[in-house]
Amino acid sequence: MKQLFLLNTLFILFFFNALAQEIKETKFTSKIEEVTVFLSGAQIFETSSGQIPSGESFVVIKGLSPYLDEKSIQVKGQGDFIIQAVNKRIDFLSEQKVNDEVKSLEDQIKAIEKKEEASLVRLDVLAQQEKLLNANQSIGGSQSGLNMTQLKQAMEFYESELTKIKSEVNQLTTNLKESNFEKNKLINQIRIIQESGNKSTSEVRIRIKADAPGPASFELNYLVANAGWYPKYDVRVKDVTSPMKLNYKAEVNQNTGVDWNDVKLRFSNGNPNESGQVPTLDKWELNFARLTSYSQKRSTFNSVSGRVFDENNEPLPGTSVLVKGSTIGTVTDVEGFYSLSLPQSASSLVFSFIGYSQKELLINSSSINVTMEPDTYALNEVVVTGYSRDIYESLQGKVAGVMVESKDKRAMAQSIQTIVQENQTTVEIEVAEPYTIKSNGEKTIVDLKAYDIPAQYSYSAIPKIDNDVFLIAEISDWSQYSLLEGESNLYFEDGFVGRSVLNASSLQDTLQVSMGRDRSIVVSREKNEEFSKKRTIGSNITENREYKITVRNNKSQTVTIKVEDQIPVSVNSEINVEALELSGGKLDPQTGKVSWILQISPGSQQELKMQYEVKYPKREKVVLD
């Protein structure tokens, strides 16, 4: 009996001792105050405050993004306590509630489906009526036929009834198509809002120790995935005597699972069918035909567009589309469509979406469609590790992020971070007014800055490649504007003239902005067949070429035009290339490029001649055309 009493006593003591050792949890609410959006990802700054108990306890901050990067968490505390550890844990129990907008969209879908059911029932009834009408179209049966009046009446009745049936069937079919289209739009909108299907949230658990209960406040910041921005520009030029107006914008998208409501935003660097980008000349190397290899080069494209689908061949809105190695990108619209202007260095596109494997495709066409594949990666729960006071002190200076603070400094609680992450940024722009961006994957355009930039204007033409003339705005000392490479919409003389790429990655002192095509200046390039002859002299063949370039200015003011062409460059000692007549053009012997700077008055034109001669052994063959 004594032994049983002793065992019960020991069990009770152990039980209450275990309860006494259980660490209390205090839930704090937090608010997002600031967001720094990077080209890929975002840094969230939150504040939280409340009352803490004495002793060791956990302060739990819930409702954070499930895409929070644990390694990036940094916490600062204010109060009479010590921070012992900080961890992240996925909270699968607190699902995000479907907001009123989603419920409203679901109600609209149900109403459409109810109408569709009624239309389908009516179509079935009409089909039965038509079947019955056709079954009774034998007039008069096997007995004597009808007279003319009766026959006419019967035919009119049959025609009238069948017309009514067909007309109603066509209308119902049209209504069903329209309602199905509308329903798909609503479904896609819900998909945007609930893009990932991941209803879990994150929570940050801050382990603290306090000698007495009291107030506590925390500042925490961390990185989240599934957010980013792309630089965009509106470039407007009234005329070539006015400064260039440049509106710097950010195309923001965020699928972090948490709305950014009234937050301070910072952005950090980290023929519409025709391109407005000026073409460039590649070096023309001339050699014997037998030493010339002909490989099919990848075609160059000035723009690319297409559509993104999921594994069920449904449109995938909110998909990020990025030109690899650049800051040029966009996200797909509600129907999965995208469109991008391409820089000259573009080689491939990178497609990414939450819950799907990233896909990279070469740009081998101006139209690229892609089907995304689900990613099997799943978020794993993070185990929370706590330290006793003795172990905690023994780890100081040996484990990153663990520090102990003496009691005389407890007014400011010790901060901890698991890993310090540095981000090299080229530009950081702060938005003056608080901004709200919902976590729905939609593109949000934020105006950043507007500049009136002094610019020098000129025209550029390469008639060998393109017969159009391009307006160029040259900006000196452009680094002061902190621009990034991005797409630009071009407006000239109050009209939209196309899209281009603002090449802010250039290392030149003067930034050239292509303002698109100006069709008021006409350029032509013609080969002079009479001069272009081939003849044999001794053991060599001599070939001559002449091209006439005509530039006409139909504008009302004098213009400056840079015209470029080229002659071949020999890479073989037995081939000799000599420029005969260049009409005052400047020849670069290394590249073979010939350039002219022309001043052409209104309504006048100017002609240029480019003549060159090529000599090579008659046993060889050279391809000049």
Ordered DSSP codes for 53-94: -SEEEEEEEEEE-TTB-GGG-EEEEESSSEEEEEEEEEESSS
The confidence score (pLDDT) of residue 570 equals 92
Q: Report the range out of 70-84, 100-114, 596-610 with the highest average pLDDT.
A: 596-610
- Interval 309-314 mean pLDDT: 86
- Interval 518-545 mean pLDDT: 89
* Position 186 pLDDT exceeds 90: no
The confidence score (pLDDT) of residue 341 equals 85
Residues with Cβ within 8 Å of 210's Cβ and at least 6 positions away in sequence, in order, are: 52, 53, 54, 55, 57, 79, 80, 81, 82, 216
Per residue in 499-515, pLDDT tens? 888 887 666 778 888 88
Task: Place 24 in a pLDDT band, splitting at 50, 70 and 90.
Answer: confident
The confidence score (pLDDT) of residue 389 equals 37
Residues 182 and 190: their CA atoms lie apart, in Å, by 13
Cα 430 → chain centroid: 21
Per DSSP, the three-state class of 107 is: helix
Q: What is the CA radius of gyration of the chain?
A: 37
The confidence score (pLDDT) of residue 218 equals 93
The confidence score (pLDDT) of residue 3 equals 57
The confidence score (pLDDT) of residue 394 equals 36
The confidence score (pLDDT) of residue 294 equals 54
The amino acid occupying position 616 is Y
Task: Place 192 in a pLDDT band, splitting at 50, 70 and 90.
Answer: low
Task: Place 397 in a pLDDT band, splitting at 50, 70 and 90.
Answer: very low
Give the residue, 587 or 391, on which the prediction is more confident: 587
Strand 320-323, strand 412-417: pairing:
unpaired
63: left (phi over 0), alpha (psi -120 to 50) or beta: left
Per DSSP, the three-state class of 399 is: coil
Residues 403 and 85: their CA atoms lie apart, in Å, by 10
Residues 266 and 584: their CA atoms lie apart, in Å, by 52
Residues with Cβ within 8 Å of 50's Cβ and at least 6 positions away in sequence, in order, are: 26, 28, 29, 59, 215, 216
- Cβ-contact 473, 454 below 8 angstroms: no
The confidence score (pLDDT) of residue 414 equals 43
The confidence score (pLDDT) of residue 20 equals 43
The confidence score (pLDDT) of residue 39 equals 84
Q: Which tokens hold the place of 334?
A: 């509600």
The confidence score (pLDDT) of residue 430 equals 85
Give the residue, 198 or 595, on which the prediction is more confident: 595
The confidence score (pLDDT) of residue 568 equals 94
Residues with Cβ within 8 Å of 621's Cβ and at least 6 positions away in sequence, in order, are: 288, 289, 290
Task: Place 581 in a pLDDT band, splitting at 50, 70 and 90.
Answer: very high
* Position 492 pLDDT exceeds 90: no
- Rounded (5°) CA angle 131-134-135: 85
Give the C-alpha distances (Å, rounded to integers) separating 187 from 107, 180, 184, 490, 550: 11, 10, 5, 35, 57
The confidence score (pLDDT) of residue 593 equals 95
Residues with Cβ within 8 Å of 315's Cβ and at least 6 positions away in sequence, in order, are: 184, 188, 307, 308, 309, 332, 334, 335, 336, 337
* Position 532 pLDDT exceeds 80: yes
Give the residue, 531 or 291, on which the prediction is more confident: 531
Task: Place 174 in a pLDDT band, splitting at 50, 70 and 90.
Answer: confident
Residues 64 and 222: their CA atoms lie apart, in Å, by 10
- Interval 335-345 mean pLDDT: 84
The confidence score (pLDDT) of residue 273 equals 43
Per residue in 247-265, pLDDT tens? 888 899 888 888 899 999 9
Task: Place 101 in a pLDDT band, splitting at 50, 70 and 90.
Answer: low
Task: Place 160 in a pLDDT band, splitting at 50, 70 and 90.
Answer: confident
Report the predicted TM-score, pTM, of the whole model to 2 decimal places: 0.58
The confidence score (pLDDT) of residue 107 equals 83
Residues with Cβ within 8 Å of 307's Cβ and at least 6 positions away in sequence, in order, are: 315, 332, 335, 336, 337, 338, 369, 370
Per residue in 450-486, pLDDT tens? 888 898 888 999 999 988 999 888 888 887 777 888 8
- Cβ-contact 75, 83 below 8 angstroms: yes
First to last CA, the chain: 113
Residues with Cβ within 8 Å of 104's Cβ and at least 6 positions away in sequence, in order, are: none
Which burial class, exposed, middle or buried, applies to 563 when counting CB atoms under 10 A from its CB (0-12, 13-18, 19+)?
Answer: buried
What's the helix, strand, coil split of the chain in %, to 5? Answer: 20, 40, 40
The confidence score (pLDDT) of residue 191 equals 64
The confidence score (pLDDT) of residue 9 equals 52
Q: Give the domains, in start order, of the chain with CATH numbers.
A: 100-193 (1.10.287), 271-292+454-625 (no CATH), 301-376 (2.60.40.1120)
- Interval 4-33 mean pLDDT: 65
- Interval 61-90 mean pLDDT: 87
Residues 539 and 167: their CA atoms lie apart, in Å, by 84
The residue among 442, 470, 488 whose CA lies nearest residue 340 is: 488
The residue among 241, 232, 234, 304 whose CA lies nearest residue 515 is: 234
Residues 112 and 115: their CA atoms lie apart, in Å, by 5
Mean pLDDT of the chain, nearest integer: 79
Strand partners for 359 = 351
Which burial class, exposed, middle or buried, applies to 33 when counting CB atoms under 10 A from its CB (0-12, 13-18, 19+)?
Answer: middle
* Position 282 pLDDT exceeds 90: no
Residues 538 and 292: their CA atoms lie apart, in Å, by 25
Strand 30-37, strand 260-268: pairing:
parallel
Residues 114 and 95: their CA atoms lie apart, in Å, by 30
